[in-house]
Amino acid sequence: MTLPFSALTHLECARCGRRHDADRVQNLCACGSPLLARYDLDRVRDSLSPADLAGRPQSLWRYHELLPVRDPAHVVTLGEGMTPLVPLPRYGASIGVPGLVMKDEGLIPTGSFKARGAAVGVARALELGARGIAMPTNGNAGAAWAAYAARAGLEALIAMPADAPSITRAECAAAGAGLYLVNGLIGDAGRLVAEKIAAEPGVWMDAATLKEPYRIEGKKTMGLEIAEQLGWRAPDVIVYPTGGGVGLIGIHKALLELRALGWLQGPMPRLVSVQASGCAPIVRAFEKGERTSEPWEDARTVAFGITVPKALGDFLVLDAVYETGGRAVAVDDEELLADRDRCAAADGALLCPEGAATLSAVRVLREQGWLSGDEEVVVLNTGAAAKYPESFRVDPPVLELTDRIP
């Protein structure tokens, strides 16, 4: 029996386990919880091996059996995926973790890892017959979904906080999306988008974080790639800047699927969720040993993408952290900006503020002794530093035409 392009079988509620039909547009389970895509992994294991992937394109679509798009004609791509694992030897040594490696998602279309979720989410929306996608965003996801919607010929409606990185507005507008700025946070944008979707039935597919089941499937490819790039092996620790948490949940899901396939052996990497101390609901829940988080008041951080006061998938992030023996860590804006600059000076690698938060977290975990310093630690740089010009304070001397360089 030949393997189909996708081995998707059904959707399963992440909380109550109820089974849902994957072949129509679905949002949350009746219990209010996100749905997760499930695959016929036995069939994949019987018909496919890691060696079969070797000659495939260097994009996330190389894992198509483990992605939800059934017909290759519906693939929507701008060449996303297979970002490099870049060692950070000098910065790593300076903080006592010489085995520090960055997966650089700044090198992907639209300059953030959000392209992964958008590629797969938009492709599946197209396949299921959606006319348009609508979503609230902290900026980067909107930029990515607007671009992929344009690529697919779908309408896009995006609402983002007025404080989101200004380049992401320009990206949405350039891609032809309907764009609204909201004087509030992502949850406020989400409320307005949900009202609009309800007012125009059949026009907009709700693509808010975890409200549709396929964005996470795109993001999970970060986990698939880390394993493949390390020669079908997991690192000791993976550190992820957490807003809605989809990337971390996705990486965890990917590693579990690879283990079920027998493509990955040994212990799971310890998963570390990093937040900014100005918005750290998951960290607060972790410190209290709780399964869900409480909304964070007055959320504010320079790492704008992780300004999420209450994540729908908080329980999945916390489960992944607890199950793998990981941690949740909060870091201050000043320290993450300082670590960003130290890393750029040491290794030439300039991370976005969200990515830089993972550098501070690794430093702190080493200082606390949670890391011994012998581990292989992979941090996710989730976006390009160049998207955040506002986060730099640089004041070089200005020369007049008659001056000399001292």
Ligand X SMILES: Cc1ncc(COP(=O)(O)O)c(C=O)c1O
Residues that bind ligand X (CB under 6 A): 112, 114, 138, 140-141, 209, 241-247, 305-306, 352, 354, 382-383
In the complex, least distance from residue 14 CB atom to Zn ion, rounded to whole angstroms: 8
Please state the closest distance from residue 143 (CB atom) to ligand X, in A. 9
Instruction: From the list ligand X, Zn ion, none, pick the one residue 33 interacts with, judged by a Cβ distance below 5 to 8 Å according to partner type.
Output: Zn ion
Say whether 85 sits in a helix, a strand or coil: strand
User: Which residue number, 324 or 382, has a Cβ lying nearer to ligand X?
Assistant: 382
Interface mask toward Zn ion for 30-69; x: CB under 5 A: -x-x------------------------------------
Give Dmax (Cα) for the chain. Answer: 78
Q: Which does 106 bind (CB under 5 to 8 A by kind): Zn ion, ligand X, none?
A: none
Provide the minimum distance between the beta carbon of 281 and ligand X in the complex, in angstroms, as a whole number.
Answer: 12
CA distances from 265 to 100, 272, 390 (A): 22, 20, 43
The site partner of 354 among Zn ion, ligand X, none (C-beta below 5 to 8 Å per kind) is: ligand X
**Distance, CA of 316 to CA of 318 (rounded, Å):** 5
**How far is residue 211's CA from residue 19's CA, in Å, rounded to a whole number?**
16
The residue to which tokens 């320079």 are assigned: 302
For residues 62 and 30, the answer to whether their CB atoms sit within 8 Å is no
Nearest distance from C-beta of residue 216 to ligand X, angstroms:
9
Residue with smaller CB distance to Zn ion, 15 or 310: 15
CB of 34 to Zn ion, least distance (A): 9
Q: What DSSP element (H or E) covers 101? A: strand 100-104
- Following DSSP, what letter does each residue of 3-43 receive, concatenated? PPS--EEEEEETTT--EE-TTS---S-TTS--EEEEE-HHH
Helix (H) or strand (E) holding 246: helix 246-261
Compute the distance between CA of residue 319 and CA of residue 14 in angstroms, rounded to an integer. 11
Q: Which is nearer to ligand X, 92 or 243 (CB)?
A: 243
Q: Map tokens 């949740």 to a residue.
A: 328
Could you tell me which of 371, 316, 113, 137 has the C-alpha nearest to residue 223?
A: 113
- Smallest gap from Cβ 168 to ligand X, in A, equals 8
Q: Which of residues 15-34 bind Zn ion (CB under 5 A)?
A: 15-16, 18, 29, 31, 33
Residue of 8, 13, 349, 357 interacting with Zn ion (CB under 5 A): 13
- Write down the least CB distance from residue 306 to ligand X, Å: 5
Nearer to Zn ion, 15 or 196 (CB): 15
Tell me, what amino acid is at 46?
D
Q: Return the number of the residue (95 or 306) whose C-beta is nearest ligand X.
A: 306
Which residues are CB-contacts of 275 (< 8 A; sequence separation ≥ 6)? Answer: 241, 242, 281, 282, 283, 306, 328, 329, 330, 331, 357
The pairing of beta strand 204-206 with beta strand 327-331 = unpaired
CA distances for 238 relative to 150, 247, 285, 358, angstroms: 33, 11, 20, 10
Return the number of the residue (33 or 83) whose C-beta is nearest Zn ion.
33
**Closest separation between CB of residue 314 and Zn ion, Å?**
16
Q: Which is nearer to ligand X, 121 or 245 (CB)?
A: 245
- From ligand X, Zn ion, none, interface partner of 243 (C-beta below 5 to 8 A by class): ligand X
Q: Which residues bind Zn ion (CB under 5 A)?
A: 13, 15-16, 18, 29, 31, 33
